[in-house]
Amino acid sequence: MLAVAPSLPVLLVCDHASRRIPESLQGLGVAEKDLRSHVAWDIGAAAVTRLLSRTLRVPAVLAGYSRLVVDCNRRLDSSTAFPETSDGVVIPGNLGLDKTERQCRAEALYWPYHHAVRDQLAALESLAVAPALVAVHSFTPVFAASARPWHIGVLWDKDPRIAVPLLDSLQESTEYHVGNNEPYSGKHPHDFTIDYHAEAGGLPNISLEIRQDLIDTDAGAEKWVNILAEALLPILSDQELYSHWSGTL
């Protein structure tokens, strides 16, 4: 968790910030090269989240373990919460997991993360009745042998208050290929963290997906933080944003 004296009632979250696996799980039986790849984490997302937190002066909560151990952006009853394969890579340590092991991982890693998100949002209620939640993710340039042309994707469902002006701002530049709910969808039931913490309570929200080859270096991460900060700051500085979504503007 990155704690700052917030300048805005905004919380950043990063569900797939780490490739760390508890020593007791012995790497889940996955080769080291795969643990360093997009299979285990969102490459560059943690760096972007930390830099964006400092730039906007808002707090951030980052998951501390690999999504291969338990995926914090999934319902626990989802078949992908404890993935047995990922982009063609078998995860031996997740094959045949019983209920007790799933529950143990959830109690140790999954719920502490979500409780931290909940607590930070509650703390931000001192600044606004409906704080905003911004999730930061990254995606691999090639998935399942298909190239992905987008530089960044803006994922959202029903609430357009951040998504629409952000899309408008990013699409002003012909330099960037911007995806609207691409390469993933923000529509329910996707994007669990946003659904669980923001949409359920009508909080303003957005999920960002940045292509990993653009942010896998310090320079790349800094460039995209500057792009995002410039686009987001006017939107997040509007105090009228921080109300519960009623389905109308």
Q: Is the pLDDT of residue 214 over 80?
A: yes
pLDDT 10s digits, 98-127? 999 999 999 999 999 999 999 999 999 999
- Tell me the three state secondary structure of residue 197: helix
Helix 45-56, helix 218-236: angle, nearest 10: 50
Which amino acid is present at 225? Answer: V
Question: Would residue 4 count as lying in a domain?
Answer: no
Which residue segment(s) compose the domain that 34 sits in? 10-241
Question: Would residue 25 count as lying in a domain?
Answer: yes
CATH number at residue 133: 3.40.630.40
- Which residue in this structure is represented by tokens 């690999």? 66
Q: Is the pLDDT of residue 138 over 70?
A: yes
Question: Would residue 105 count as lying in a domain?
Answer: yes
- 144 versus 44: the higher-pLDDT residue is 44
Question: Would residue 191 count as lying in a domain?
Answer: yes
Q: How many domains does the chain have?
A: 1
- 27 versus 247: the higher-pLDDT residue is 27
Q: Is the pLDDT of residue 136 over 90?
A: yes
Look up residue 3 and give its two tokens: 């704690």
What pLDDT is recorded for position 124?
97
pLDDT band at 56 (very low <50, low <70, confident <90, very high): very high
pLDDT band at 246 (very low <50, low <70, confident <90, very high): confident
Q: What beta strand segments (E) does the chain contain?
A: 10-14, 60-62, 85-86, 89-90, 132-139, 142-143, 146-147, 152-155, 178-180, 205-211
Q: Is the pLDDT of residue 224 over 70?
A: yes
Question: Would residue 246 count as lying in a domain?
Answer: no
Cis ω for the linkage preceding 183 (within 30 of 0): yes
Q: In the chain, count of helices (H) and strands (E)?
A: 7, 10
Question: Would residue 18 count as lying in a domain?
Answer: yes
Question: Would residue 249 count as lying in a domain?
Answer: no
pLDDT band at 3 (very low <50, low <70, confident <90, very high): low
Quick one: average pLDDT of 18-31? 98
Quick one: average pLDDT of 60-68? 98
What pLDDT is recorded for position 34?
98
Q: Is the pLDDT of residue 75 over 90?
A: yes
Rounded-to-10 torsion of CA 45, 237, 156, 13: 30
Q: Is the pLDDT of residue 4 over 70?
A: no
- Tell me the three state secondary structure of residue 61: strand
Question: Would residue 5 count as lying in a domain?
Answer: no
What pLDDT is recorded for position 145?
81
What are the C-alpha distances in Å from 49 to residues 1, 5, 60, 159?
11, 16, 7, 22
Quick one: average pLDDT of 127-155? 95
What pLDDT is recorded for position 6?
77
What pLDDT is recorded for position 247?
83
What pLDDT is recorded for position 5?
64
